[in-house]
């Protein structure tokens, strides 16, 4: 059965407001840089990933509460945007510990970094080699394709 757009959008709204996953009320989820190559999949788990360890690689906290949800007007895909901290999704090398280090992607995890909600690779891995180098990610989103709920 093909679900209606209204049903698919409601599913995205419920997920964006789910306090057990994306809409933490007290213990913010973390966005973590990943320092080993990986292949994103639904079967990936937190233990499969190697977090970055350079000075300044501290995971960033996701904005607490309901995450933003809406429809892409060009595709009708449902999009959940993960709320960034003040300053955005930005990391900066502040020392030389564990450099050089290659960053392959990023992952959204719970506060304890034991549960993985999603991961993405960078288009091109970033090699950090010195102090004051920056990784600045664009919006972090989940996309549910139009027509995908069948």
Give tens-digit pLDDT for 16-57. 999 999 999 999 999 999 999 999 999 999 999 999 999 999
Counted domains in the chain: 1
How many whole angstroms separate alpha carbon 113 and alpha carbon 107?
Answer: 10
pTM of the prediction? 0.95
**Cβ(60)–Cβ(91) under 8 Å?**
yes
pLDDT in the model for residue 81:
98
Residue 133 has pLDDT above 90, yes or no: yes
In a domain, residue 54? The reply is: yes
Q: What is the dihedral of CA 128, 129, 130, 132, to 10 degrees?
A: -20
In a domain, residue 116? The reply is: yes
pLDDT in the model for residue 69:
97
**Cβ(62)–Cβ(111) under 8 Å?**
no
Residue 65 has pLDDT above 90, yes or no: yes
Peptide bond into 100 cis (omega under 30): yes
SS3 of the chain: helix, strand, coil, percent, to 5: 10, 35, 55
pLDDT in the model for residue 149:
85
In a domain, residue 150? The reply is: no
Residue 150 has pLDDT above 90, yes or no: no
What angle is formed at CA 36 by the lines to CA 102 and CA 33, rounded to 5 degrees?
A: 70
pLDDT in the model for residue 40:
97
In a domain, residue 149? The reply is: no
Domain that holds residue 95: 5-144
Give tens-digit pLDDT for 73-98. 999 999 999 999 999 999 999 999 99
Whole-number mean pLDDT of the chain? 97
In a domain, residue 133? The reply is: yes
**Cα 84 off chain centre by:** 10
């Amino acid at each position: 059965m093909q679900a209606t757009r209204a049903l698919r959008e409601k599913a995205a709204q419920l997920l964006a407001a789910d306090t057990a996953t994306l809409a933490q009320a007290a213990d913010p989820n973390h966005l973590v840089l990943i320092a080993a190559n990986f292949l994103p999949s639904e079967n990936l788990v937190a233990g499969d990933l190697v977090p970055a360890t350079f000075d300044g690689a501290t995971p960033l906290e996701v904005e607490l509460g309901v995450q933003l949800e809406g429809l892409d007007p060009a595709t009708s895909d449902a999009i959940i945007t993960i709320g960034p901290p003040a300053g955005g999704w930005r990391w900066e090398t502040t020392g030389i510990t564990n450099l050089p280090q290659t960053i392959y992607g990023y992952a959204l995890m719970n506060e304890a970094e034991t549960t993985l909600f999603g991961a993405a690779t960078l288009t091109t891995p970033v090699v950090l080699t010195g102090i004051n180098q920056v990784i600045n990610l664009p919006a972090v989103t989940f996309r549910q394709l139009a027509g995908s709920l069948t």
